[in-house]
């Protein structure tokens, strides 16, 4: 996977540098044909907008979803080590498409390549869809993702046959879905463009930093046809041994920061981190026990990073996203970790604004974006 990312990045970096040489030869007076030409305002000296261009990109990514389970019923470290579980859902390589126009961006994965060792780990079915709406002051992101088919990484702790077979305990019926909305407000929106790396409808020209205020709401489900705790360690989990599902509605408001570092005008590096408290309303489902509804306050985090080349018509990036959410209770802790490493390349085609769209832009609702 990383070899693919490296080859793609080097290949299109060469194309991008060739494009740079062509651009430096053109005179600025030829630019008025494109409405994205920067005017001498404070924000335009720091970033360029490409709102009247259709932006089309390909992305390839490797994604994963980990669920770590541990219990607190014993002080014996040997027992805890043997009973600690780590369920993993893998998507070896996912191909997708990104589309952006003005203040709207869409992305979806359409093809998933299974891992080579699926006979030992099983196969994960994956589906995702995402969008974001907004300009440079604030953004609303929406996403949906689904995983079905998990294997348990620590099988060797309790399965004596693992050394001979190498086959992991797996749950092909286990599935996890996530519906999420995320709002982000950027304090330094006159000089900082978050979309320079994520949807590429802007191009950061000068290094800039911003504080972020974020609000999140999501509904996360984990379901299985039977208990997710393997039989050899089920007794160590007490009445949690029959756990077969967990539904969580989470809401949070917290903050963070983001940095766009520009090197040699077109090389862009972004680092973003957000952390804060989260209210979680949980529903635990069991094989034989009645359903339990509980409410907890925990911390969650959102970490992102990207590096790439961003030109007027062409861009290419490698980015990474991590989303860590713990679900800790009195007897057990379940930590959900989602990660994604993406390669993206695309181009911008200037189209202008159709007349019907210009009418939309004059509405109060649009001007709020």
User: pLDDT tens for residues 7-40?
Assistant: 444 444 444 444 444 444 444 444 444 444 444 4
Per-residue pLDDT tens for 95-134?
A: 888 888 888 888 877 666 666 777 888 888 878 788 888 8
Q: Is 43 helix (H, G, I), strand (E, B) or coil?
A: coil
Distance in angstroms (rounded) separating the CA atoms of residues 135 and 208: 17
CB distance 229 to 288 below 8 Å: no
Is 168 a domain residue? yes
Is 301 a domain residue? yes
Q: Is 178 helix (H, G, I), strand (E, B) or coil?
A: strand
pTM value > 0.85 = no
Per-residue pLDDT tens for 160-204?
A: 888 888 888 888 888 989 999 999 999 998 899 898 888 778 888
Residue 30 DSSP one-character state: G
Long-range pairs for 117-121: beta carbons < 8 A, 24 or more residues apart:
119/167, 120/151, 120/166, 120/167, 120/168, 121/88, 121/90, 121/151, 121/168, 121/170
- Structurally, the chain folds into a number of domains equal to 1
Is 65 a domain residue? yes
Is 35 a domain residue? no
Boundaries of domain holding 273: 2-25+42-367
Q: Is 191 helix (H, G, I), strand (E, B) or coil?
A: coil
Per-residue model confidence (pLDDT) at position 82: 57
Per-residue pLDDT tens for 215-260?
A: 999 999 989 888 888 888 887 777 778 888 889 999 999 999 999 9
Q: Say if residue 335 is exposed, middle or buried (CB neighbours under 10 Å; 0-12, 13-18, 19+).
A: middle
Please provide the DSSP assignment of 122-169 as one string: ---EEEEEEEEEE-SSEEEEEEEEEEEEEEETTGGGT-TTHHHH-PPP
Distance in angstroms (rounded) separating the CA atoms of residues 162 and 114: 22
Is 36 a domain residue? no
Tokens encoding 101: 């126009």
Residue 359 has pLDDT above 80, yes or no: no
Per-residue model confidence (pLDDT) at position 322: 79
Residue 263 has pLDDT above 50, yes or no: yes
Is 211 a domain residue? yes
Distance in angstroms (rounded) separating the CA atoms of residues 83 and 233: 5
Per-residue model confidence (pLDDT) at position 113: 64
Distance in angstroms (rounded) separating the CA atoms of residues 86 and 77: 17
Is 292 a domain residue? yes
* Helices and strands of the chain, counted as H and E runs: 7, 14
Is 30 a domain residue? no
Distance in angstroms (rounded) separating the CA atoms of residues 152 and 133: 37
């Amino acid at each position: 996977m990383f070899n693919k990312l490296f080859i793609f990045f080097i290949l299109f970096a060469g194309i991008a540098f060739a494009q740079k040489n062509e651009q430096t030869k053109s005179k600025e007076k030829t630019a008025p044909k494109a409405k994205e030409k920067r005017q001498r305002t404070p924000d335009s000296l720091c970033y360029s907008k490409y709102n009247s261009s259709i932006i089309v990109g390909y992305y390839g990514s490797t994604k994963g979803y980990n669920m770590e389970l541990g219990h607190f019923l014993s002080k014996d470290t040997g027992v805890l080590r043997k009973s600690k579980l780590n369920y993993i859902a893998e998507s070896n390589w996912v191909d997708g498409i990104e589309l952006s126009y003005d203040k709207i961006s869409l992305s979806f994965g359409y093809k998933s390549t299974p891992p080579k060792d699926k006979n030992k780990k099983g196969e994960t079915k994956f589906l995702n869809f995402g969008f974001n709406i907004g300009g440079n002051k604030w953004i609303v992101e929406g996403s949906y993702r689904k995983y079905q088919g998990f294997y348990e990484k620590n099988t060797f702790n309790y399965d004596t046959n693992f050394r001979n077979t190498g086959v992991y305990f797996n749950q092909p019926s286990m599935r996890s879905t996530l519906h999420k909305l995320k709002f982000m407000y950027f304090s330094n929106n006159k000089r900082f463009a978050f979309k320079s790396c994520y949807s590429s409808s802007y191009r950061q020209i000068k290094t800039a930093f911003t504080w972020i205020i974020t609000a999140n709401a999501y509904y996360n489900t984990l379901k299985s046809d039977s208990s997710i705790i393997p039989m050899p360690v089920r007794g160590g989990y007490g009445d949690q041994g029959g756990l077969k599902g967990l539904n969580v509605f989470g809401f949070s408001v917290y903050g963070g920061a983001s940095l766009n570092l520009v090197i040699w005008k077109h090389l862009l590096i972004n680092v973003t981190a957000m952390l804060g408290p989260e209210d979680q309303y949980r529903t635990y489902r069991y094989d034989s026990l009645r359903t339990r509804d509980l409410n907890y306050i925990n911390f969650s985090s959102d970490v992102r990073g990207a590096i790439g080349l961003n030109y007027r018509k062409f861009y290419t990036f490698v980015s990474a996203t991590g989303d860590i959410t713990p679900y800790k209770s009195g007897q057990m802790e379940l930590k959900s970790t989602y990660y994604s490493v993406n390669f993206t390349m695309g181009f911008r085609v200037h189209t202008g604004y159709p007349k019907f769209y210009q009418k939309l832009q004059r509405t109060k609702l649009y001007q709020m974006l």
